[in-house]
Structure 1
């Protein structure tokens, strides 16, 4: 198997990428992936993975993991062991609920969950206190948990293209969100293309500072 040969070659490396070009798309990962004990960066994007082997949880030195553009609906609980992980990309999958293991990745500063099937974020999100970038655009979020407002290190929060009608009263606590952002890479709050109700919709026309002042006033 070509992938097995590749794994043997990188057994002592610290960065691995499996993308479909020029190789065929992967439909599975061998459990031997867990033998890459020194691995720090792993990209397995644009493949056809429907599940991740629990052995990946043995790669405890991982700091960057991209599983974007696959067909994943969940992650194994063993990934809770990836406590050094700082960047996790799960975008463009079939995830309806944030996998429980993610909430144990308390070193995360970047979490990308765009274009999945999320309808809500659990209160457990408050465990990710180091998060600076959270991207959940292109889902079906109906509301935001109050616990989200505990993530005071957030500098970029992308909520575009959801079903959000209101925002939590304590959202103003996310003081590092400096502005309403438009460009995908801009820091700030992204919240366009949501069916926001009055008065929040009108207040936002005055910018993020106007919204935060309104929320503070209660």
Structure 2
């Protein structure tokens, strides 16, 4: 059912009578709440609620046991109900551009989740339970207020893309090196002064974005990133590069603008 851009300010309680409904599109309305009768949509697989004015979700959202796709981006959510733990089939969850200040520990119970977008919220930390998302492949956390990452981030064994641009990270946990499938790591516009040597333990890493940090050096272990194709280091505080960068046989792009480099090792040239 497509009710996008319909000028809706509320959803009638009768919506609960559509017990066989599988898809519901409510994008670009003026909804501020959802009726508790939404719990009766037991066959619902996809619901689009982007670009509304929702400030909270009813606990009954957890009763949508067949839900696979949930779009809630561009609302005014400040918190999530703990009942989201019941969404055992959820694979795609978009919460970008809300006002979330924290995530409930229960988010770790979304055992089928593959794609999670939390860009442009107000998160200052992540619960350790996020490491329980064993199927997660893409995690977006750009434009938040994160100052650190939990060690449990290293438990995301299926993670392929981790995006953390524009936060307040000053360091990375050693466990970042425990992500065997990671291909893209984006850390631009943070306050990193160094990288853990474990960064060299990412066997599939292809793209590493580190522009606009405070890096003064790189670990020699970077030579072990055998699949690395692009390394972006613009606008840091690097005065030299480890010669080991010359061992990166697949590297096609190396950007170093706006660093106080004094010399580049012969092996790199």
The TM-score, its normalising length taken from structure 2, stands at: 0.68
Residue of structure 1 in register with 2:258 after alignment: none
Alignment partners' CA distance in 2, 1:51 and 1:18 = 16
| Comparing 77-86 and 106-115, the one that deviates more | 77-86
Q: Which gives a bigger RCO, structure 1 or 2 (Cα 8 Å, sep 6+)?
A: 1
1:174 positional shift: 1.3
Residue of structure 2 in register with 1:209 after alignment: 248
1:6 positional shift: 8.7
Q: 1:204 to 1:152 in 2, by over 3 A?
A: farther
Residue of structure 1 in register with 2:202 after alignment: 174
Q: Structure 1 residue 112 and structure 2 residue 140: aligned?
A: yes
Residue of structure 1 in register with 2:165 after alignment: 137
Q: How many residues align?
A: 200
1:207 positional shift: 7.8
- Unmatched runs of 5 consecutive residues or more in structure 1: 179-187
Q: How does 1:8-23 map to 2 (within 5 A)?
A: 10-20=41-51
Q: 1:162 aligns with which of 170, 184, 190?
A: 190
Alignment partners' CA distance in 2, 1:154 and 1:106 = 13
Residue of structure 1 in register with 2:130 after alignment: 102
RMSD: 2.5
1:72 positional shift: 0.6
| Comparing 79-88 and 9-18, the one that deviates more | 9-18
Q: Structure 1 residue 59 and structure 2 residue 87: aligned?
A: yes
Partner deviation per Cα, 1:79-132 (whole Å, 9 max, x = no partner): 222111111111111111112331211211111111111111121111111111
Residue of structure 1 in register with 2:216 after alignment: 197
Alignment partners' CA distance in 2, 1:198 and 1:32 = 51
Partner deviation per Cα, 1:167-194 (whole Å, 9 max, x = no partner): 111212213223xxxxxxxxx1011011
Q: 1:134 to 1:6 in 2, by over 3 A?
A: farther
8 A Cα contact 2:125 2:147, kept in partner: yes
Alignment partners' CA distance in 2, 1:199 and 1:71 = 35
Structure with max Cα Rg: 2
8 A Cα contact 2:194 2:218, kept in partner: no
- Unmatched runs of 5 consecutive residues or more in structure 2: 1-9, 12-33, 220-237, 252-264
8 A Cα contact 1:10 1:16, kept in partner: no
Residue of structure 2 in register with 1:47 after alignment: 75
8 A Cα contact 2:39 2:63, kept in partner: no
Residue of structure 2 in register with 1:183 after alignment: none
